[in-house]
Structure 1
Amino acid sequence: MVVQYTPYVLLALLSAAISVGVAIRVWQRRPGPGVVPLTLMVLGAAWWSLGYALEISTPDLETQVLIANLEYPGIATIPVMWFVFVLEYTGRGKKWLSRGTVALLLIVPFLTIVMALTNDYHHLFRVSVTAVTEGPFPTFKSVYGPFFWVHTAYSYLMLTPGTILLIVTALRMPKIYRRQAITLLMGAGLPWIANILYVTGLGPIPSLDMTPFSFSLAGLALGWSLIRYQLMDVVPVARDII
């Protein structure tokens, strides 16, 4: 396989490394509320960033598409893990979550992964792809099929209520919890905004997906919250206020 170097590869690898480091630090806080879903969410970000680094390091269109599809185990599970994490973090997990509930929430991500990996047989995820040679590196543009939009809508359906619930928590909690929630919102908001800009084609470089790079900043925000505000050591659930 021919490999092309671009500084963006290094940035994506750095983002993956930061995410892995944060995941390790979070996992060390177990068995606290939200530790498992937050760890899985950050590892999903690491998988996505690593995959994107490999994707943009090859000029071959077929290989790029294959790697892009292999990124979906990370991409598709992040929104659900965010939603589950927020429920546990705010003390609603025991009431609303069970293994069965989480399994149901993961049905669409599972189908998304399957549809992405088997797209050549049905083209319901990507109708077509076109090579893009303009920009910082050769990449491709997709015409998305109906199931991609099912995945996108479901992802935002998971992200939105989780974010709203965290905002409510930030407004109602004492200062230390409020600061935790703010850093969590920063960590979640940056990739969300970057992804919206990419999907809508409104990013500064349309062919460049800034989402994997934004995970580095999100990881730093989470790392700061772990160290400075004792995230996962002191959580709102202990107050039972919400």
Structure 2
Amino acid sequence: MDSLLTLYITLVCVSGVFNVFLSVYAFSKRSEIPGAGIFILYTAALSIYCFGYAFGLASTTLTEVKIWTTVEYIGMPFSAALGLMLVLNYLGRNVSPKTAAAMFIIPSITLAMVATNDYHHLFYKAMYLREGMPASLVKLEIGEWYIVHGIYTFSCLLAAVVLLIGRWRQTSKTYRLQLVTLICGQFVPMTAAFLYLLGAAPGGLDPVPIVMCITSALYIWAMVSARMLTVVPIAKETIFESMGEGVIVLDPAERLIEFNRAAAIMIPSLRHSRIGSTLDEVWVSLTGSPFPVARHPDGMQGELAWMAGGEERCYQVRVSVVRHRNGGLAGSLLLLIDVTELKRLQRHLEHMAFYDGLTQIYNRTQFIHRSREMLKESLAEGQPFSVVLFDIDHFKRVNDSFGHETGDRLIVHVVSLCKPMLSADMLFGRYGGEEFVLALPSFSWPEAAELAERLRAALEAEPLVTASGPIAVTSSFGAAQAEQTGDTLESLLRAADEALYVSKRGGRNRVSVHQPAKSKDS
């Protein structure tokens, strides 16, 4: 019996040495090993477990056995939780600090129970020497917390094994050696612990430290030769869930079969309960209309607007057909890319290109472009078309007397008074400086003159209020109507400009009209 015990102690110490080597090796390669900290703690805990158990076996009194049992439990209960954390990290599943702390609650209580067992006997009801056996081989009667500890330890080992086996199909052949090594590292100790709890271990000795000699040697071989944990496969679902773009997966019948977290954030109404429905059915239930982007052919793109968080979000939709290796249709992927900020920037740039920055009405370039099209349509339909040019009287005097900031306020004031008096089909633009222009489709020159007079009167009636006192606002207007089909916008603007100067020469604050030739003749 003594020779067998010596051999057993030797093997347990070898297991401890192997785990020390693994811990030191992982520490030296910590920059290359993802989650190296967990592996270092895991192997360090196993080392403490092995050495504590070995010294306990070598003890000569029950008191020494109790002391080394406490040392053993500094590592053993924590190793199961750390092993599960190691597996989760390998599979790409992050363990939050709160979850990690929760996983260490039962091991911490177990350590406290073992250290204070003589006061409550909740872990071991009794520990006494067996007759005719070495002092280290004590007989144990387990207590209530020992059962809790055993269930928790076995559950951690079993969960790790189940998770690793569940990864088998998704793991390429390149990484299956790593997977087998990790499965053995959890399954073999779990089996040994189960046999020990059933009382089937030979001589009442704990077989777990012995089998760890084998699993630790396997870890060393795998880490040194196959670079286990240095080159780690990234789980497919980890990539799928961590993508910033939303992904919707459809089967060949265009039924919804999966979507990632980003898609659920982009479209909060999307629920897993809708899986199995066609995309159009899902979209009808969400919006009342079918999905607006065509799914075929491969590479189709479109845009989708959606309300999320009280604001409109815009997504670019890219459709990609997925095929089997034999070329058959497997389904399709819809990639949703958030282009809201890009669209906002685009609209902002378009606004800057089309509108005057101070007044937010059309700038000269955009006004001319749009008015030219309106004139062409009006003449083609035989409808009248008029333009009105006007400017602010004595504007330079305002700038010189009150400053350019007040001058800008005056320009904005004029626009704010005019806009409510204009209909949607009229174009209003800043022609330059303090000069403005109106394009009036379907307006004859008398109608244009009448509108100009209303604007003139409104401006005269509303002075600009400033800290220095009110500033009177008057404007001079010139109107002109297209005379014949061949008229251009440039000729019409020249005619309106001539009429404007007539108002200037006539004393300002008035409306003048450049009448068509046929009206003059009549």
Query: Is 1:85 matched up with 2:81?
Result: no
Identify the residue that residue 43 of structure 2 maps to in structure 1.
42
- For residues 28-107 of structure 1, the aligned pairs below 5 Å read 28-31=28-31, 32-93=33-94, 97-107=95-105
Say which SS state the counterpart of residue 141 (structure 2) adopts: strand
Instruction: Quote how far apart the aligned CAs of 1:135 are.
Output: 6.0
CA distance in 1, matches of 2:47, 2:212: 8
SS at match of 1:6: helix
Q: How does 1:81-160 map to 2 (within 5 A)?
A: 81-93=82-94, 97-133=95-131, 138-160=136-158
Out of 183, 203, 208, the position equivalent to 1:206 is 203
In the alignment, structure 1 residue 225 sits paired with structure 2 residue 218: no
Q: C-alpha separation between the residues in 2 aligned to 1:133 and 1:15?
A: 29
Paired residues of 1:44 and 1:73 also in contact (CA < 8 A): yes
CA distance in 2, matches of 1:134, 1:229: 48
Structure 1 residues 194 and 133, CA gap change in structure 2 (3 angstroms): farther
Q: Calculate the TM-score normalised by the size of structure 1.
A: 0.89
User: Is the 8 Å Cα contact of residues 37 and 84 (structure 1) preserved in structure 2?
Assistant: yes
For residues 96-153 of structure 1, what are the alpha-carbon distances to aligned partners after superposition, in whole Å with 9 as ceiling and x for unaligned? x211110111111111100110111111011011212456874112111101111111
Q: 1:131 to 1:92 in 2, by over 3 A?
A: same
**Matched positions, count:** 234
User: SS of 1:141's equivalent?
Assistant: strand
Give the TM-score taking structure 2 as reference length.
0.43
Contact 2:192–2:207 (CA<8 Å) still a contact in 1?
A: yes
Question: Structure 1 unaligned runs (5+)?
Answer: none
Q: Cα deviations across residues 151-205 of structure 1 (Å, max 9, x unaligned)? A: 11111222222211111223320112211010111122222222211121112x1
Q: Residue in 1 aligned with 2:188? A: 190
2:364 corresponding residue in structure 1: none
- For residue 168 of structure 2, give the secondary structure of its aligned residue in structure 1: helix
- The answer on whether the counterparts of 1:18 and 1:216 sit within 8 Å (CA) in structure 2 is yes
**Preserved CA contact (<8 Å) 1:56 1:139:** yes
Q: In the aligned structure 2, how far is the partner of 1:196 from the partner of 1:226? A: 27
Q: Which residue of 2 aligns with 1:15?
A: 15
In proportion to residue count, which structure has more strand? 2
Q: Which amino acid aligns with 1:54?
A: F
Q: Distance in 1 between matches of 2:209 and 2:44?
A: 12
Query: Whole-Å Cα distance in 2 between the matches of residues 190 and 140 of structure 1?
Result: 25
Q: Would you identify which runs of 4 or more consecutive aligned residues in structure 1 move more than 3 Å?
A: 133-138, 238-242
Q: 1:135 to 1:208 in 2, by over 3 A?
A: farther
User: Contact conserved, 2:157 with 2:187, CA < 8 A, in 1?
Assistant: no
Higher RCO (Cα < 8 Å, 6 or more apart):
1
Q: CA RMSD in A?
A: 2.0
Give SS of 1:171's match: coil
Describe the shift of the 1:210–1:76 C-alpha distance in structure 2 as closer, same or farther (beyond 3 A). Answer: same
